Amino acid sequence: MAMLMGCAQTIPKEALELSQESFELRQLQTRSFDTSNEKKLLSAGAGVLQDLGFNIDESEMGLGVIVGSKDRDATEAGQVAGAVFMAVMFGANMAIDKNQKIMASLITHPSGKQTKLRITLQRIVWNTQGQVSKTQSITEPEIYQEFFDNLSKAVFLEANGI
């Protein structure tokens, strides 16, 4: 028994700490709204997602969660040019990105008379050989800003019955 205890490993303290990049991304993904009605905020968020071309895949209003996705073309001109060059010069058949699925998750958290809403965006890209070539979080600030601008307008319109 004593031997087993001597082999136990502990998790390094820094492994449980968020990096500065994680903190900045979380700030980019989160906004506070002056409402305590999570369901109306989620409903407005679902509407914005649909306006942006997402399908709502799952919805748990009671838990404050909505998940949506959309399929898009992932072809990039640079990859196509590279593949053509490789085919002409070496007869090589190079895989290029073809399709992508973009996923969005909305999560609300009540905070007194306000409700925080966080959206996270990820994408999975498949190449022409049907293999996953990329899985990544989407971190472009403009995309999050567009979502929150549209959500703010939707919340305003709903609050004023317009």
Using only C-alpha atoms, what is the Rg of the chain?
Answer: 22
Burial class (CB in 10 A: 0-12, 13-18, 19+), 108: buried
Domain assignment present for residue 86? The answer is: yes
- Supply angle C-alpha 130, 121, 73, rounded to 5: 35
Number of domains in the chain: 1
Q: Output the pTM of the full model.
A: 0.77
60: CATH: 3.30.530
pLDDT in tens, the chain (162 residues): 455 555 557 777 766 676 778 888 899 999 999 988 999 999 999 999 999 999 999 999 999 999 999 998 877 766 556 655 555 565 666 777 789 999 999 999 998 899 999 999 999 999 988 889 999 999 999 999 999 999 999 988 777 666
